Amino acid sequence: MTIAWRDGMDIGDPVIDADHHHLVEMINQFEAAIGGRIDHKAVARVLLGLVSYTGEHFQREEDLQLQVRYPYYDSHRRSHRDVLKHLNDLLARYVRLQGAERDAMIRDMAGFLREWLVDHIISSDLRMKPYVQQFLADQAEAARRQRAARALAASIAAGRPADDWPDPSRH
């Protein structure tokens, strides 16, 4: 079953949202590779890609959490480690198994990947959204204050009378 992206799954950070889109695509590719006769070359390629991309994505996500002062950083980071370990274990087991056992395992894995991803994004990452939004709002406010201060400084430097100085709250 293909996962379709819904706007409600966006957390508001363009980099992390693009990562999640890409992860969804990879899992859809994985499902396509096992749809009929299992294409093991494609499966292995997608799995390897998924393991390394997930590691990079988690790092980016943890960096963002630090930046926005996400209060659940520690537990989120721990769950990232668990997922990465599990993905690596799955990959190792997949390589060791053969024939029908390997086919059965790979079909089980599809369910795990889908559930994990949807759970990761919907229940876990969406909790970051208000913190990301607050961070973006704070940044916009800081930029506005800077612009106002610059405009005021420019007016003073230009020798404009105090009555003509720009109102800093209206920049």
With contacts defined by CB under 5 A, name the span among 64-72, 111-119, 124-132, 138-146 that binds Fe ion: 124-132
The packing angle between helices 99-119 and 73-96, to 10°, is: 160
Q: Which of 93, 92, 65 is nearest to 77 (CA)?
A: 65
Task: Determine if 13 is a binding residue for Fe ion (CB under 5 A).
Answer: no
Size of the site for Fe ion (CB under 5 A): 2
The binding track of 49-88 with respect to Fe ion, each residue x by CB under 5 A or -, is: ------------x---------------------------
Q: How far is the CB of 41 from Fe ion (least distance, A)?
A: 28
Identified binder of Fe ion from the candidate list 125, 131, 132, 135, rule CB under 5 A = 125
Query: Is the C-alpha dihedral spanning 59, 60, 64, 65 positive or negative?
Result: negative
Q: Count CB-CB contacts under 10 A for residue 41.
A: 9
